[in-house]
Chain A
Amino acid sequence: MIDRRSFVKHAALTAATAAALQRATHAKCISLNQFEPNTGVKWDKAPCRFCGTGCHVEVGVKDGKVVAVRGDQKAEVNKGLLCVKGYHVGSILYGEDRLTTPLLRKNGKLVPITWDEAIDVIAERVETDPNGFAIYGSGQWTIPEGYVCQKFIKAGLANNHIDPNARLCMASAVTGFLGTYGVDEPASCYDDLDECDVLITWGNNPAEMHPVLYSRVLDRRSRGDKVEIIDIGTRRTRTTDFADKYINFNPHSDLAIANGIAHLLIKNGTWDKKFVEENCAFRADPASGPSLFGDAITFDEYKKGLEPYTPKYVEEISGVPAEDIVMLAERFGNPNLKITSLWCMGMNQHTRGTAMNTLLHAVHLLSGHFGKPGDGPQSLTGQPSACGTVREIGTLAHALPGGRIVKLEPHRTACEEMWNLPKGRINAKPGYHTVKMWEQFCKPTAEGGDISTIWVQVTNPGQSLPNLDKLFNAKNGQKDKFLIVSDVYPTVTTEQADLVLPSSMWVEKNGIFGNSERRTQQWFKQVNPPGDARDDVWQVIAVAKELYDRDFAGMKDKDGKFLFTVLDENGKPFPAWNWDKYYDTNVDKYLYEEYRPFTFAKKKNVAPYDELVKTRGLRWPVVQQPDGSWRETRYRFSGFDDPFVEEGREIDFYNSKTKNHRAQIWSRPYVAPPEVPTPEFPLWLCTGRVLEQWHTGSMTNRVEEIRRAMPEAYVEINKADAQKLGIRSGNMVTVSTKRGDLTLPAWIGGRGEPPKGSMFIPFFDDKRLVNNLTLDAFCPISKQPDYKKCAAKVAKA
Chain B
Amino acid sequence: MNTRLVFIPLICTALVAGVASTSVSWSPPTASSERMSMERLLTTPQEADDVSSRRFSKPQGTRNDSLESRMENRSFDGAPPMMSHAMSFGDNKSCLDCHGKGFTMGKRIARAMPHAQLENCTQCHIEQESDMFGEVTVVTNYFDGLLPPEGGTRSFEGAPPTMPHGLLMRTNCLSCHGSTGYAGLQTDHPERRNCTQCHSMATPLFVP
> Which chain A positions have C-beta within 8 A of B162?
5, 8
Closest to A749 in B: B90
Please tell me which one of the listed residues A2, A70, A93, A218 contacts residue B120 in the complex, with CB atoms under 8 A apart: A218
B133 near A711 with CB under 8 A, answer yes
Tell yes or no: A16 within 8 A of B by CB.
yes
Q: A68-B76, A84-B123, A215-B123 are in contact. Are A15 and B156 (CB under 8 A)?
A: no
Closest to B5 in A: A20
- How many residues of chain B are within 8 Å of chain A by beta carbon? 84
Residue ranges of A at the interface with B (Cβ–Cβ < 8 Å): 1-5, 7-9, 11-17, 19-20, 23-24, 26-27, 29-33, 35, 37-39, 41, 43, 58, 60, 62, 65-71, 73-74, 79-84, 87-88, 90-91, 93-97, 207, 211-212, 214-215, 218-219, 221-223, 238, 241-242, 691-692, 701-712, 714, 729-730, 745, 747, 749-751
The stretch among B46-54, B104-112, B199-207 that forms the contact with chain A is B199-207
> Which chain A positions have C-beta within 8 A of B125?
84
A67 near B146 with CB under 8 A, answer yes
- In the complex, A39→B35 CA distance in Å? 27
Closest to A63 in B: B144
Additional pairs, 14, CB under 8 Å, beyond known A31-B153, A38-B147: A1-B204, A4-B204, A11-B19, A12-B159, A31-B151, A41-B205, A90-B75, A95-B142, A222-B118, A703-B141, A705-B126, A708-B127, A750-B132, A751-B89
Tell yes or no: B117 within 8 A of A by CB.
yes
Q: Which of A13, A38, A39, A79 has the most CB of B within 10 A?
A: A38
The stretch among B10-18, B177-185, B188-196 that forms the contact with chain A is B10-18
Interface residues of B in 40-90 (CB under 8 A from A): 75-80, 82, 89-90
A705 near B75 with CB under 8 A, answer yes
B202 near A711 with CB under 8 A, answer no
Interface residues of B in 136-174 (CB under 8 A from A): 136-147, 149-159, 161-162, 164, 166, 168-169
Please tell me which one of the listed residues A9, A71, A207 contacts residue B155 in the complex, with CB atoms under 8 A apart: A9
Interface of A is mostly: mixed
Q: A68-B145, A211-B123, A218-B119 are in contact. Are A17 and B4 (CB under 8 A)?
A: yes
Q: A62-B146, A67-B76 are in contact. Are A82 and B156 (CB under 8 A)?
A: no
> Which chain B positions have C-beta within 8 A of A15?
8, 11-12, 15
Tell yes or no: B24 within 8 A of A by CB.
yes
B141 near A95 with CB under 8 A, answer yes
- In the complex, A58→B36 CA distance in Å? 21
B146 near A60 with CB under 8 A, answer yes
Q: A95-B139, A238-B92 are in contact. Are A27 and B127 (CB under 8 A)?
A: no
A32 near B169 with CB under 8 A, answer no
- In the complex, A303→B108 CA distance in Å? 64
Smallest beta-carbon distance A679→chain B, Å: 31
> Which chain A positions have C-beta within 8 A of B82?
705, 708-709
**6 CB < 8 A contacts A-B:** A5-B153, A5-B202, A23-B157, A32-B150, A68-B79, A68-B146
A4 near B146 with CB under 8 A, answer no
A7 near B16 with CB under 8 A, answer yes
- In the complex, A4→B162 CA distance in Å? 11
A32 near B151 with CB under 8 A, answer yes
Q: A12-B159, A71-B169, A207-B123 are in contact. Are A91 and B141 (CB under 8 A)?
A: yes
Smallest beta-carbon distance A507→chain B, Å: 13
Smallest beta-carbon distance A582→chain B, Å: 25
- In the complex, A31→B26 CA distance in Å? 24
Closest to A708 in B: B128
B168 near A70 with CB under 8 A, answer yes
Residue ranges of B at the interface with A (Cβ–Cβ < 8 Å): 4, 8-9, 11-12, 15-16, 19-20, 23-27, 29, 33, 35-36, 75-80, 82, 89-93, 116-120, 122-130, 132-133, 136-147, 149-159, 161-162, 164, 166, 168-169, 200-208
A12 near B12 with CB under 8 A, answer yes
> Which chain B positions have C-beta within 8 A of A708?
82, 127-129, 136, 138
Closest to B129 in A: A708
Please tell me which one of the listed residues B11, B29, B36, B80 contacts residue A87 in the complex, with CB atoms under 8 A apart: B80
B144 near A65 with CB under 8 A, answer yes
- In the complex, A717→B109 CA distance in Å? 35
Q: A87-B79, A88-B75 are in contact. Are A1 and B145 (CB under 8 A)?
A: no
B119 near A29 with CB under 8 A, answer no
Please tell me which one of the listed residues A9, A23, A222 contacts residue B119 in the complex, with CB atoms under 8 A apart: A222
B25 near A1 with CB under 8 A, answer yes
Please tell me which one of the listed residues B91, B168, B206 contacts residue A241 in the complex, with CB atoms under 8 A apart: B91
A74 near B26 with CB under 8 A, answer yes
Closest to B147 in A: A38
Smallest beta-carbon distance B77→chain A, Å: 7
Please tell me which one of the listed residues A5, A69, A730 contacts residue B132 in the complex, with CB atoms under 8 A apart: A730
Closest to A752 in B: B89
- In the complex, A759→B5 CA distance in Å? 65
- In the complex, A9→B12 CA distance in Å? 9
Smallest beta-carbon distance B6→chain A, Å: 12
B155 near A12 with CB under 8 A, answer yes
Smallest beta-carbon distance B168→chain A, Å: 6
> Which chain A positions have C-beta within 8 A of B91?
241
> Which chain A positions have C-beta within 8 A of B208?
73, 80
Please tell me which one of the listed residues B29, B153, B205 contacts residue A8 in the complex, with CB atoms under 8 A apart: B153
Q: Which of B12, B79, B141, B168 has the most CB of A within 10 A?
A: B141
Please tell me which one of the listed residues B126, B138, B147, B155 contacts residue A84 in the complex, with CB atoms under 8 A apart: B126
- In the complex, A705→B119 CA distance in Å? 21
Smallest beta-carbon distance B19→chain A, Å: 7
B120 near A242 with CB under 8 A, answer yes
> Which chain A positions have C-beta within 8 A of B152?
31-32, 37
> Which chain B positions have C-beta within 8 A of A705?
75, 82, 126, 128
Closest to A90 in B: B143
Q: A1-B24, A4-B204 are in contact. Are A711 and B136 (CB under 8 A)?
A: yes
> Which chain A positions have C-beta within 8 A of B89?
749-751
> Which chain B positions have C-beta within 8 A of A691?
122-123, 126
- In the complex, A242→B24 CA distance in Å? 39
- In the complex, A115→B78 CA distance in Å? 39
Smallest beta-carbon distance B74→chain A, Å: 8
- In the complex, A218→B151 CA distance in Å? 35
Closest to A66 in B: B143
Please tell me which one of the listed residues A82, A83, A707 contacts residue B139 in the complex, with CB atoms under 8 A apart: A707
Please tell me which one of the listed residues A4, A24, A29 contacts residue B207 in the complex, with CB atoms under 8 A apart: A4
> Which chain A positions have C-beta within 8 A of B118?
81, 215, 218-219, 222
> Which chain B positions have C-beta within 8 A of A712?
133
- In the complex, A220→B146 CA distance in Å? 32
Please tell me which one of the listed residues A2, A4, A238 contacts residue B122 in the complex, with CB atoms under 8 A apart: A238
A32 near B161 with CB under 8 A, answer yes
Closest to B136 in A: A711
- In the complex, A81→B124 CA distance in Å? 9
> Which chain B positions have C-beta within 8 A of A96?
139-142
> Which chain B positions have C-beta within 8 A of A751?
89
Smallest beta-carbon distance A345→chain B, Å: 19
Smallest beta-carbon distance A217→chain B, Å: 10
Closest to B33 in A: A73
4 closest A-B pairs by beta carbon, nearest first, are A35-B150, A24-B156, A12-B155, A37-B149
